[in-house]
Amino acid sequence: MKKTNLFDFTYPELEKTLEEINLPRFRAKQLFDWLYKKLVFDFDLMSNFSSEQKRIFAKKFRLYIPTIEHVAHSSSDSSYKFLLKTDDGKQIESVLIKEKTSSRERSTICVSCMVGCPLGCKFCATGSEIGFVRKLSCAEIVGQVLAILKHAQENNYSQKITNIVFMGMGEPFLNIEQVQKSIALFTSTNGISLSPSKIAVSTAGIGPGIAQFINETGIRLAVSLHFPTNELRSEYMPINKQFPLDKLFAELKKINLKKRDHILIEYLMLDGINDTLTHVKQLQKLVHGLKVKINLIPYNPIKKFRAKTSSPKSIENFVAYLKGKGIFTSVRHSKGIEVEGGCGQLALKNHG
Ligand code: SF4
């Protein structure tokens, strides 16, 4: 009998499967408690099951999550980059970012949804240095979070996580089934138990289906826009040829945003490429009529794309122009740069 990975089951799916083997539904709750609350990944250690039940579980299910191979800690900004290995030997990366302000503490885990990425954005280490290998399963996505939580538990640092973002390797809308399943586990009260508003997916703009997905799940959306015209965008982000800006923005306008919600627009600041007054005017025109927050991201250079980040003055001018038009704008100082876990920097390094 082929064993199924238990981390590939949503809660209702597990209840149904247990019923099929004549086990009561409440056993699903007990199993989920061990896996998602107590972080115990070994049937033998689950004390509220009989030996016979443990034998049945072990016969029917696998318990496998990616294993952590290497952790790099950035002391300057309290981020940790994890190199993980899947059971077929593929490497993926996740980042834990800890932020503390006077009013709140945030622990965000940035997960990957693919090994590599097929979209090949020129400025992105994942797309340009790894290419595309394969999609990740739900268990491999959820497993990144669980492996990091377990690592935190074993190393005595805070296991409380407040946010999950799909901003690592891969395009979520090209692996939507597994991403959706993992979101069900992240938001289930029996699972990781996060509010949908604490979860965000970032897309390079795979047009159809974005609005329906966001409207149904209630999670947040970030769009890696980066360029304000089709000409520029198609040059650096090939996906734009398939889903040009008019199609993308028509889709974004279909999203039902709640009162205090917004769409996050991510915009890399590239010196002389997309950071002039003309560009900021084009950007403002593009987002006009949408509730957005714009996040300007100083560029972190990668090997294959040696553009420079915009000067502080150009960034300042961008911010001033957008704020002058009433658009909430911030500048992200990428967390994790020191360990190359900043935006667009997830490309496996030799950690040997
Ligand atoms: S920026 Fe995102 S969509 Fe583009 S290649 Fe990198 S991982 Fe893929």
Residues 304 and 263: beta-carbon distance below 8 Å:
no
Minimum mean pLDDT range among 195-199, 226-230, 256-260: 256-260
DSSP 309: B
74 and 46 within one domain: no
Minimum mean pLDDT range among 86-100, 174-188, 243-257, 331-345: 331-345
Relative to beta strand 91-100, strand 79-85 is antiparallel
Residues 112 and 33: beta-carbon distance below 8 Å:
no
Alpha carbon distance 253, 187 (integer Å)? 25
Alpha carbon distance 77, 335 (integer Å)? 6
Q: If residue 193 lies in a helix (H) or strand (E), which one and from where to where?
A: none
Residues 93-117: what's their mean pLDDT? Answer: 88
- In the numeric block, which tokens belong to residue 184? 């069900």
- In the numeric block, which tokens belong to residue 313? 């003055």
What integer pLDDT is reported at residue 334 of this predicted model?
58
195 and 311 within one domain: yes
Check if 171 has its Cβ closer than 6 Å to any atom of ligand 1: yes
192 and 52 within one domain: no
Tell how far the Cα of 340 is from the centroid of ligand 1, in angstroms: 15
Tell how far the Cα of 187 is from the centroid of ligand 1, in angstroms: 25
Which of 95, 126, 304 is the pocket-test mutation for ligand 1 (most atoms within 8 Å of CB)?
A: 126
Check if 190 has its Cβ closer than 6 Å to any atom of ligand 1: no
Domain boundary among 42, 62, 82: 62
Q: Would the pLDDT of 182 be above 50?
A: yes
Tell how far the Cα of 324 is from the centroid of ligand 1, in angstroms: 31
Catalytic residue among 110, 117, 121, 343: 343
- Structural domain of 169: 67-339
pLDDT averaged over every residue in the chain: 91
Domain boundary among 17, 43, 62: 62
Check if 126 has its Cβ closer than 6 Å to any atom of ligand 1: yes
Domain boundary among 40, 62, 84: 62
- Please tell me the total count of domains within the chain: 2
Instruction: Place 335 in a pLDDT band, splitting at 50, 70 and 90.
Output: low
14 and 120 within one domain: no
Minimum mean pLDDT range among 58-62, 71-75, 79-83: 71-75
Q: Would the pLDDT of 343 be above 50?
A: no
Check if 120 has its Cβ closer than 6 Å to any atom of ligand 1: yes
Locus of tokens 């039902």 = 256
What integer pLDDT is reported at residue 74 of this predicted model?
77
180 and 39 within one domain: no
Q: What is the CB neighbour count within 10 angstroms for residue 88?
A: 9
What is residue 85's three-state secondary structure?
Answer: strand
CA angle 262, 265, 270 (to 5 degrees): 160
Q: Would the pLDDT of 325 be above 80?
A: yes
Whether 348 is in a domain gets the answer no
265 and 282 within one domain: yes
The CATH number given to whatever domain includes residue 18 is 1.10.150.530
171 labelled catalytic:
no
Residues 304-311: what's their mean pLDDT? Answer: 90
160 and 33 within one domain: no
Check if 346 has its Cβ closer than 6 Å to any atom of ligand 1: no
Strand partners, 165: 110, 200
Check if 119 has its Cβ closer than 6 Å to any atom of ligand 1: yes
Which of 111, 171, 173 is the pocket-test mutation for ligand 1 (most atoms within 8 Å of CB)?
A: 171
Q: What is the CB neighbour count within 10 angstroms for residue 52?
A: 8
Instruction: Place 301 in a pLDDT band, splitting at 50, 70 and 90.
Output: confident
Which of 201, 203, 224, 305 is the pocket-test mutation for ligand 1 (most atoms within 8 Å of CB)?
A: 224
Whether 16 is in a domain gets the answer yes
DSSP annotation string for 220-272: EEEEE---SSHHHHHHH-THHHHS-HHHHHHHHTT----TT--EEEEEEEBTT
CA 116 to chain centre: 13
Catalytic residue among 15, 93, 171, 340: 93
Whether 351 is in a domain gets the answer no
Residues 244 and 273: beta-carbon distance below 8 Å:
no
316 labelled catalytic:
no
Whether 346 is in a domain gets the answer no
Residues 41-47: what's their mean pLDDT? Answer: 97
Check if 239 has its Cβ closer than 6 Å to any atom of ligand 1: no
What integer pLDDT is reported at residue 208 of this predicted model?
84
278 and 234 within one domain: yes
Whether 188 is in a domain gets the answer yes
The CA distances from residue 243 to 16, 168, 238, in Å, are: 39, 21, 9
Residue 209's nearest CA partner among 177, 164, 236 is 177
202 and 240 within one domain: yes
